[in-house]
């Protein structure tokens, strides 16, 4: 954040509050994410957005996969460890 935007923080906040007051409607609501902690903000946003979508189980027919074809000449190249996303969960 530059120094000028810090100086104008209250004016920006007031403009945001007026915009929210005038444009927040039932058909197109605004949602505000507390974002002092960016990681938590992102997770809270994802959680909230997914919670807005109605979810219900849908029955699907079982999928029958064909046998995997294998080529004896193919050798899989190992993926370098530094390219792998850590498995946290």
pLDDT at 28: 93
**11 located within any domain:** no
In a domain, 40, yes or no: yes
* Length reported for the chain: 89
Q: What is the pLDDT of residue 50?
A: 92
SS3 (DSSP) at 24: coil
Instruction: Please indicate, yes or no, if residue 43 is contained in any of the structural domains.
Output: yes
Measure the CA angle with vertex 16, ends 28 and 10; round to 5°. Answer: 165
**What are the residue ranges of helices labelled H in the chain?**
3-7, 9-23, 38-51
Backbone angles phi, psi at 7, to 5 degrees: -65, -35
Closest CA to 12 of 4, 22, 28, 70: 4
Q: Is residue 86 part of a domain?
A: no
- What is the tally of structural domains in the chain? 1
In a domain? residue 60: no
Domain, as residue range, for 46:
26-54
Q: Quick check: is 79 in a domain?
A: no
Residue 49 placed within a domain:
yes
pLDDT, one tens digit per residue, over 8-50 is: 999 999 999 999 999 999 999 999 999 999 999 999 999 999 9
């Amino acid at each position: 954040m530059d120094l000028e935007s810090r100086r104008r923080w209250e004016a920006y906040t007031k403009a945001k509050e007026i915009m929210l007051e005038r444009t927040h409607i039932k058909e197109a609501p605004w949602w505000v994410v507390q974002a002092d902690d960016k990681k938590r903000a992102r997770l809270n946003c994802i959680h909230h957005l997914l919670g807005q979508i109605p979810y219900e189980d849908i029955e699907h027919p079982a999928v029958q996969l064909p046998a995997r074809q294998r080529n004896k000449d193919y050798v899989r190249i190992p993926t370098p460890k530094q390219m792998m996303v850590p498995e946290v969960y």
